[in-house]
A and B are shown apart, each in its own frame.
Chain A
Amino acid sequence: MTGTETAGAVIEARGLNLVFQTADGPVHALKDVDLSIGKGEFVSFIGPSGCGKTTFLRVVAALETPTGGSVAVNGMTPEEARLNRSYGYVFQAAGLYPWRTIEKNIKLPLEIMGYSRAEQDERVRNVLQLVDLEGFGRKYPWQLSGGMQQRASIARALAFDAPILLMDEPFGALDEIVRDHLNEQLLALWARTEKTIGFVTHSIPEAVYLSTKIVVMSPRPGRITDVIESPLPRDRPLGIRDTPEFQRVAHRVREGLRAGHAYDD
């Protein structure tokens, strides 16, 4: 590692580039991305489709390999960080295995990582409480609503107590009422666990409501156009969305998206 890292940074990207070779020629998914995420931050990535926000998260999770530049997670390479169980990943869909009960789904990472049976039970109890799903452990995924399924998948990502939570549009498929509720719960969970969260979203209000830092991205090639440090306090009731401060941040995000010429074509 070079000495350019910001002290205390949990995720540190320097000159990150990723070019996919596709049948239609190379696609520049990430271009010269520099970003530093500190411990305990809640960072949202917002931008139109194809801006590389999901790709960035996947690079951090070692699901994609960059073609240039470097990224460090807790000072390690993404692969080392993964082996070190540094992060939990929540996907767009809940992705619960239909043949496992909620309890068994949450135990999946624990079984793979070799936790003892007693510890598995203990952890399942804790995370079910954390996402407010006590009493649903024995249910199968299809017996739960979409929002509950997504909460179960968050519980699964929390089960092995990784310090980083990477979330790729976790609430994208849910309706707005459920989404508001889950956003509130997610903030409460973040406050209680003090995890570092990377959160990909399409929604400006969601990004502003949740984040301490908002990364605005634009496509072709995928790059960062603005990084906004939110002036909002950490304790955020839903009503904060009607305050002028909130509107100002939302406005700046909208301006950032427009500056990226995202909707010109």
Chain B
Amino acid sequence: MTEAATTPRITAAGGGIGAAARAAGGAVLPILAVVLAIVTLWYLACIPLNSAWVIDRAGPEADLSTGDILSGVFNQERPVLPAPHQVAEELRATVLGEPPLRERRGSLQGNPRSLVFHAYQTLAPTLLGFLVGTGAGILLAVGIIHNRAMDMGVMPWAIASQMIPILAIAPMIIVVLNAVGIEGLLPKSLISAYLSFFPVVVGMVKGLRSPSSMDLDLLKTYSASAGQTLAKLRLPASLPFLFASLKVSVAAALVGTIVAELPTGARFGLGARLLTGSYYGQTIQIWSALFMAAICAALLVGLIGLAERVTLKRMGLAR
């Protein structure tokens, strides 16, 4: 029976919110242990990486105690590897310490010192690109399963498109679009859409083809049209696949936007923040931007997980 084969997967993916909370409760200790181990390793790694600068700076005659070296290692302005507390302090100062918007030349503008403002500059094109990419991915998948020519013709190109290093193609797209007068949000979203459509195509083709031949025969005995088969069987059956794809594609969309900001001299956004940080050797700024990007990705994936649970529950697929 097909149901028997598909339902355990759906349950595993859907699981009630309550069950997830219980699982999280039992997982607190292991998670804390892992975090503690990472932070400890991080602090330890700072010592060899940052101590050379401390010793150089003191000069060959200086007689430094271990304590002197350690305090120098963990509190430099431009360390090779910033210590965790420095990154945390930078995050606090740029997220909580600065308003995202400020008064300038008589109008309210984005505050480039606020990491929230930069995150917004990255998230907006990410979400637009994600929506465009997801929509395009679903449409392509629907075309692929209904049309043999598209099945043979589109998939190789879709795969080839993902073989091109995004770092190589992003500046070209931006330059070409700039030349025809398209600037701002759109070029960045286009690159994030370019990265995010692919997981959706692959997942949706699989999902739309997931109904068994018996499920399809049943609709045939009703003389259902291709459109009715799509709406009543293929699309609902593909939803668990879609959500799995969306989690991958939203993270890819964020990476796409950040990469789009890197080679183009963008002034705002997390990618721009990474770039200026590396120009001026502001390693603490780079690391805090990296953490912000990770937090954003976790939030986006978490939101999709929530949408997944709610949707599957409403469809009666989660028990």
Contacts and interface: CB of A to CB of B under 8 A. Distances in A.
A82 B214 CA distance: 17
Contact of A111 (B6, B232, B319): B232
Nearest to A109: B222
A98 B5 CA distance: 12
A142 interface: yes
B228 interface: yes
Given A61-B221, A87-B221, A89-B221, A142 B319 contact: yes
Contact of B222 (A96, A97, A113, A140): A113
Main secondary structure of the interface of B (DSSP, over half): helix
B218 A89 contact: yes
A89 B217 CA distance: 9
Contacts of B237: 97, 99
Contact of A99 (B212, B222, B317): B317
Contacts of A93: 1-3, 214
Nearest to B219: A112
A88 B317 CA distance: 27
B29 to A, nearest CB: 34
Contacts, number: 64
B271 to A, nearest CB: 40
Interface string A84-115: 00011101111111111100000011011100
Interface size grouping (class) on chain B: 20 to 34
Interface residues of A, number: 27
A98 B232 contact: no
Interface string B135-164: 000000000000000000000000000000
Interface string B1-17: 11100110010000000
Main secondary structure of the interface of A (DSSP, over half): loop
Interface in B210-262: 212, 214-215, 217-224, 228, 232-233, 236-237, 239
Contacts of B1: 93-94, 173
B211 to A, nearest CB: 9
B316 interface: yes
B218 A142 contact: no
A97 B217 contact: no
Contact of B215 (A97, A112, A113): A97
Interface of B: 1-3, 6-7, 10, 212, 214-215, 217-224, 228, 232-233, 236-237, 239, 315-317, 319
14 contacts: A61-B221, A63-B217, A63-B220, A89-B217, A91-B217, A92-B214, A95-B212, A95-B214, A98-B7, A99-B316, A99-B317, A112-B219, A112-B223, A173-B1
